[in-house]
């Protein structure tokens, strides 16, 4: 009897969410996205899965997925539909076509009938446009016979060293109610930037290479977890800054930003996140898809792709492929794998209680 728990990752990006679920015990068989560079990274880290470039707004794409699934029983569909229409940093256009892509999740679910469906998005999906998107999602779950639970998860509460909030909808086929996992951390023991990345080479005198060796032993429990299964370090390449940029970074105190700079310094960037230096004793700010505005708590440079990946809870054995700018983009767009892990464990507990 096959005991494998199969899952599909829609709008997969590089596969952060599905990687976490796999760590919990699921097996991802399909990763679907329209961004080829992100799919290349997905394929590299999910060699047992198919990575397929599809436009999920089309009926043909849904049928293609059904064909690829074949006779396999799908236990779980996870999906992170594009969030530009709901994001605080987006244009918030109510008529943005990307705002309705979540319907494709339910079109597929109506055919393959998974036991569980998880949709994640930015917090704004619950409130913007008078909550229309949230209401529509809940209605679709109900139409297909799923009992839906929803919650805003705060990443530091689950051991992730980054201030990040994501909205999750978890649907269970039938009447069982999914209970979200309890927090494992609080303000007294949040994982800090220092605990996350202090073991990585400083790159003070050398920008580093795409593949290199560790320069020291792990100095925290989190670093041990991140380094488990990795014998070399990938994606830890520094950025060469101009003397002017370095001079400005040097004047930003730990945990500070542009507001802490002397009059007339750093005037080229004055928006909210400009010239933000992380604090060694706190989680990082939210990792975004760029790499120009946040700086290392100690070194006078932006974090490397690997440092950002650590702050997102990607283990070091997860390799990002493609140019450095693509690596930053993929990491910033991802859902922290550790959120996938804690949700996956909770689902498997519920599943076991029903078997």
Which residue would you say has higher pLDDT here, 87 or 218? 218
Q: Does 285 fall in a domain?
A: no
**Which residue matches tokens 């996350």?**
196
**Which residue matches tokens 């619950």?**
126
Q: Does 310 fall in a domain?
A: no
- The dihedral built from the CA positions of residue 293, 299, 301 and 303, taken in this order, carries a sign that is negative
How far apart are the C-alpha atoms of 55 and 63, rounded to whole Å? 12
pLDDT of amino acid 94: 44
Q: Does 250 fall in a domain?
A: no
Strands 50-53 and 26-33, sheet pairing: parallel
Report the residue count for the chain.
355
How far apart are the C-alpha atoms of 91 and 13, rounded to whole Å? 21
83 is annotated as an active-site residue: yes
Structure tokens at 10: 């829609």
Q: Which region among 37-41, 46-50, 92-96, 204-208 has the lowest average model confidence (pLDDT)?
A: 92-96
pLDDT of amino acid 2: 56
Q: Does 301 fall in a domain?
A: no
Q: Does 262 fall in a domain?
A: no
Per DSSP, the three-state class of 53 is strand
Task: Provide DSSP, 258-319.
Answer: GGGSPTTSSTT--STTTTEE--TTSPBPPP-S--SSEE-SSSSSPPPHHHHHHHTT--TT--
Name the β-bridge partners of 212.
233
Per DSSP, the three-state class of 69 is helix
pLDDT of amino acid 341: 98
pLDDT of amino acid 86: 43
Residue 252 has pLDDT above 50, yes or no: yes
pLDDT of amino acid 268: 77
Give the pLDDT confidence of 116-150 residue by residue, as tens digits.
999 999 888 888 777 888 888 999 999 999 999 99
pLDDT of amino acid 96: 46
**Which residue matches tokens 């990006």?**
13
Show the domain range for 340: 5-184+336-354
pLDDT of amino acid 205: 86
Total domain count for the chain? Answer: 1
Structure tokens at 197: 């990345």
Confidence of residue 107 (pLDDT cuts 50, 70, 90): very high
Q: Which residues contact residue 340 at a Cβ distance below 8 angstroms, ignoring those fewer than 6 apart?
A: 16, 17, 18, 19, 20, 21, 23, 24, 78
How far apart are the C-alpha atoms of 338 and 117, rounded to whole Å? 18
- Mean pLDDT of the residues in the chain: 92
Give the pLDDT confidence of 276-326 residue by residue, as tens digits.
999 999 999 999 887 788 999 999 999 999 999 999 999 999 999 999 999
Structure tokens at 161: 């060293």
Q: Does 71 fall in a domain?
A: yes
How far apart are the C-alpha atoms of 247 and 273, rounded to whole Å? 18
pLDDT of amino acid 83: 54
With a threshold of 0.75, does the pTM exceed it?
Answer: yes
pLDDT of amino acid 23: 97
Give the pLDDT confidence of 177-221 residue by residue, as tens digits.
999 999 999 999 999 999 999 999 999 988 889 999 999 999 999
Structure tokens at 29: 């068989």
Percent share of the chain, pLDDT over 90: 80
Catalytic residue among 28, 83, 148, 193: 83
Assign residue 159 the CATH number of its domain: 3.40.50.150
Per DSSP, the three-state class of 74 is strand
Q: Quick check: 57 and 97 in contact, CB under 8 A?
A: yes
Q: Does 198 fall in a domain?
A: no
Confidence of residue 273 (pLDDT cuts 50, 70, 90): confident
Q: Does 276 fall in a domain?
A: no
Q: Quick check: 136 and 126 in contact, CB under 8 A?
A: no
pLDDT of amino acid 93: 46
């Amino acid at each position: 009897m096959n005991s494998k728990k199969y899952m599909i990752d829609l709008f997969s990006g590089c596969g952060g969410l599905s990687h976490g679920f796999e760590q919990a015990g699921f097996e991802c068989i399909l990763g679907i996205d329209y961004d080829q560079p992100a799919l290349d990274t997905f394929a590299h880290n999910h060699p047992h899965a198919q990575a397929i470039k599809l436009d999920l707004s089309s009926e043909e794409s849904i049928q293609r997925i059904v064909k690829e699934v074949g006779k396999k029983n799908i236990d779980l569909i996870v999906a992170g539909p594009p969030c530009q229409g709901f994001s605080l940093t987006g244009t918030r256009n109510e008529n943005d076509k990307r705002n309705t892509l979540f319907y494709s999740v339910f079109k597929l679910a109506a055919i393959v009938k998974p036991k569980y469906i998880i949709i994640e998005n930015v917090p704004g999906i619950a409130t913007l446009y008078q909550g229309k998107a949230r209401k529509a999602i809940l209605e679709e779950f109900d139409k297909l016979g799923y009992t839906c639970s929803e919650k805003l998860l705060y990443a530091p509460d689950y051991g992730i060293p980054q201030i990040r909030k994501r909205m999750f909808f978890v649907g269970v086929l039938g009447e069982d109610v999914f209970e979200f996992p309890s927090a494992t951390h609080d303000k007294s023991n949040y994982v800090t930037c220092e605990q996350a990345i202090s073991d990585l080479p400083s790159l003070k005198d050398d920008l580093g290479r795409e593949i290199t060796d560790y320069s020291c032993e792990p100095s925290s429990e989190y670093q041990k977890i991140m380094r488990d299964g990795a014998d070399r370090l990938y994606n830890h390449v520094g950025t060469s800054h101009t003397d002017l940029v370095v001079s400005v970074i040097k004047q930003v105190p730990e945990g500070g930003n542009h507001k802490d700079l002397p009059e007339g310094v750093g005037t080229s960037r004055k928006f909210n996140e400009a010239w933000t230096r992380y604090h060694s004793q706190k989680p990082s700010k939210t990792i975004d898809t760029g790499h120009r505005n946040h700086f290392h708590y100690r070194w006078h440079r932006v974090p490397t792709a690997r440092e950002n990946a650590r702050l997102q809870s990607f283990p070091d054995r997860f390799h990002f492929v493609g140019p450095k700018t693509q690596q930053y983009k993929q990491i910033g767009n991802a859902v922290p794998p550790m959120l996938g892990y804690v949700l996956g464990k909770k689902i498997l507990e519920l599943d076991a209680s029903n078997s």
